[in-house]
Amino acid sequence: MKTDAVGSRPRCLILLPALVAVAGCASIESIEQPPVQILGGEDLEIGAAPEAPPSRAQIKDSLAALFYADDGPQEFTFCEASPETGQCEDPDAGLSAVGVGGLFLPLVMDVSGMTIEDRERTAEGWDITSSFDSTVNAIPPICADGDGTIAVDDTGSVIVTFDGFYCNWAVIGNVVTQVSLAIDRIDPNKRSFTGYYALQFNGTGNAGGTGYFKAKP
């Protein structure tokens, strides 16, 4: 079930004061940011080294093939994957964060997909607005859309960052959610990509998690 949107992402500075005091706009855990590898279908298998690293222009062209397949929203599903093979290890598990609500309630957030609703080119890559398919303890939260960036740096790393968007869970839970993706492989032909992730929320509940994922349409 798709997470319901409740409007554009509020900035940390304009969230409820009590929520800001609890969440503190906490920094998300750092993750590995390797240079990206562009897979060429049958021409380049996972793990094979290309003759030369892709240029920033080649990386952006490959990203455009992912995110501009057509003019409408672009939907991707996430699964927990193996860094060695780039294949899903558990197709039913997405990006995961584990923590606690209040003083004692165990919380598990699972993000199973992302829909890029809007995107605009920038010098570094793209500004994007996305909604997320997610559950916390199997109950979908109500979340604002996340405003994020896709940035290609001079080392060939591709970082997708959502600095913080508001979610309400089961009426009583109010949190700021952050997502960071470091893409290490792109397959433009299959419109799939893999990489490392960090997922975190802070507020009346707090949770975090890191891992390796695969995203596909």
Read off the tokens for 185. 């492989």
Read off the tokens for 65. 């093939």
Look up the domain containing 155 and give its range.
4-216
- pLDDT mean over 136-165: 94
The pTM of the whole model exceeds 0.85: no
The pLDDT confidence band at residue 17, using thresholds 50, 70 and 90, is very low
Read off the tokens for 105. 């309630």
- Tally of domains within the chain: 1
pLDDT score recorded for residue 51: 56
| Predicted confidence (pLDDT) at residue 2 exceeds the cutoff of 60 | no
Residues near 72 by Cβ (< 8 Å), separated by ≥ 6? Answer: none
The pLDDT confidence band at residue 26, using thresholds 50, 70 and 90, is low
- pLDDT mean over 16-25: 43
Residues near 115 by Cβ (< 8 Å), separated by ≥ 6? Answer: 2, 73, 74, 75, 76, 130, 131, 132, 133
Q: Which residue has the tokens 């004692």?
A: 104
| Predicted confidence (pLDDT) at residue 46 exceeds the cutoff of 60 | no
pLDDT score recorded for residue 87: 94
Mean pLDDT over the full length of the chain? 83
Digit-coded pLDDT (tens) for 160-217: 999 899 999 887 789 999 999 999 999 988 999 999 999 999 999 999 999 999 999 9
Q: Kindly report the backbone phi and psi dihedral angles of residue 171, in degrees, each rounded to the nearest multiple of 5, phi listed first.
A: 70, -45
Q: For the purposes of burial, counting CB atoms within 10 Å of the CB of 57, is it exposed (0-12), middle (13-18) or buried (19 or more)?
A: exposed
193: Cα separation from own chain's centroid: 12
**Measured between alpha carbons, how far is 194 from 144 in angstroms, rounded to an integer?**
25
**Amino acid, res. 126:** W
- pLDDT mean over 107-126: 94
